[in-house]
Structure formats: C-alpha cells, structure tokens
Amino acid sequence: MRWLQNAIYFRDKGRCSFCWTDISKLVNLDAKYNFDHIVPLDLFGVNDPTNIQLVCKDCNLKKLNRNTDVGKKYQEWFI
C-alpha cells in the first residue's frame, strides 16, 4: 500500500485533483484521507492506481463515498 500512495502522490505532483491546491507540505503519506477512490469501494471500485487520486481534506469531505466525481486532471474513463 505504501508504494501505491507514493506513486499517486508523485503522479499528481502533490496537488489536489479537484482544486489543484498544492498540498505537498500538508500531505502525510500515512493519512488515508488524502487518497480518494474515484469509484468508491462501496460502489465496486478497485484498489488500483487508475482509481485513486490525491485530494485535499476539504475536497475529500465534499466528495465522500456517494459519487464518482473525478478531479480536473483525469478524463471520466469509467462512464
């Protein structure tokens, strides 16, 4: 899991996928709330790098696990 968090962090360049806020100084790579499943596990999403995005705490709280919102960096490939 640690390799996956590092990969997502570096792929997203330390920025929130929704608001593009630089959270590189705020991210604790051990904190799960900075990593969001695009398609939530409750909606049959997977633990795959293509389904996980880096988000700030505020954007993650807005999204929750009720929808499949994707950040501005990614195309909606699953729709």
Q: Tens-digit pLDDT profile for the chain (79 aa)?
A: 778 888 888 888 888 988 888 887 665 655 556 788 888 888 888 888 888 888 888 888 887 766 656 666 655 544 4
Per-domain residue ranges of the chain: 2-63
52-54/35-37 β-pairing: antiparallel
Residue 53: left if φ>0, alpha if ψ -120 to 50, beta else—which one?
Answer: beta
**Alpha-carbon span 55 to 37, nearest angstrom:** 10
Helices and strands (H and E) in the chain: how many: 2, 2
Q: Name the pTM for this structure.
A: 0.70
- Tell me if residue 53 falls in helix, strand or coil: strand
